[in-house]
Structure formats: structure tokens, C-alpha cells
């Protein structure tokens, strides 16, 4: 129920009637990897470019940070081990978008699943 309120508030805050562009309001629901890629690749000319870009990065960073926290402690087993120092966020997002373009079979999958497929393949842990 809380998630529905959050999504509703985001939609009201970011979307105005009559705005037309490559990004559609349903993309912000991020039901599929394809929706997320639409947000991550919104052209600068899109009226929702700024919102889409920030949503994309926030979604990906949030999912990654959840993984970090969930795998902390002595029994934690990380799935993803980026280099130190980590690459810039924008570079990782660009690599993710390119990776998805080469793996269109994941466009209708859950975006978090696809994001972690990419991360595990790109930044595997060497244990």
C-alpha cells in the first residue's frame, strides 16, 4: 500500500498533463527492464529528461545499496564487487544500457533482476 502512495506522489510531482515525449508516465512505474531503459535513455529534448535520468540513477543506486546493506556482516556473501575506486555512476549506467541492448531477452524481466545480472557479470566477486 505504501508503495502505491510513493508511486502516486512521484507521478504527480514529475508529470504534468499535456507533456509529450519519449518518456511516458507508465515508464516511472518501472514494471520492466524496458521501462527502466526508457528512463535511462531519455533524450535531452524530452520534457521529462531530467526526471527520467534522476529516477534511473536513483533506482539503480538504491538497488545496489540495498544489496550492500543486505550482505553486510560476517555471514554476508556479496554478489557484486566493484573495483576500488568504483567507476563513475554515469559510466556504469551507460554500460548497463549497452549491456541490455545486447541482451534484449531481458527487456520484459524485472528491472532489479536484470540490473544484478549485469552487475554480477561485470563486477564479479573473486572469492
Summarize the confidence of residues 112-125 as an average pLDDT: 97
124: left (phi over 0), alpha (psi -120 to 50) or beta: beta
Task: Tell me the pLDDT band of 127, cut-offs 50, 70 and 90.
Answer: low
| Radius of gyration in angstroms for the set of CA atoms belonging to the chain, rounded to a whole number | 16
What confidence score (pLDDT) does residue 68 get? Answer: 94
**E strands present in the chain:** none
C-alpha cell at 16: 504534468
What confidence score (pLDDT) does residue 70 get? Answer: 94
The residue to which cell 508516465 is assigned: 25
Q: For CA atoms 21, 22, 23, 25, give the dihedral sign.
A: positive
Instruction: Inform me whether the pLDDT recorded for 44 exceeds 90.
Output: yes
What confidence score (pLDDT) does residue 3 get? Answer: 52
Amino acid at each position: 500500500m505504501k508503495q502505491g502512495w510513493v508511486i502516486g506522489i512521484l507521478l504527480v510531482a514529475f508529470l504534468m498533463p499535456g507533456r509529450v515525449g519519449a518518456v511516458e508516465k507508465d515508464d516511472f512505474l518501472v514494471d520492466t527492464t524496458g521501462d527502466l531503459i526508457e528512463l535511462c535513455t531519455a533524450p535531452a529534448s524530452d520534457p521529462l529528461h531530467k526526471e527520467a535520468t534522476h529516477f534511473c540513477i536513483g533506482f539503480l543506486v538504491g538497488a545496489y545499496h540495498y544489496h550492500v546493506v543486505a550482505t553486510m556482516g560476517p555471514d554476508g556473501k556479496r554478489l557484486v564487487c566493484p573495483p576500488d575506486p568504483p567507476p563513475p555512476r554515469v559510466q556504469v549506467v551507460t554500460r548497463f544500457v549497452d549491456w541490455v541492448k545486447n541482451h534484449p531477452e531481458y527487456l520484459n524481466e524485472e528491472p532489479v533482476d536484470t540490473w544484478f545480472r549485469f552487475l554480477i557479470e561485470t563486477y564479479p566477486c573473486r572469492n
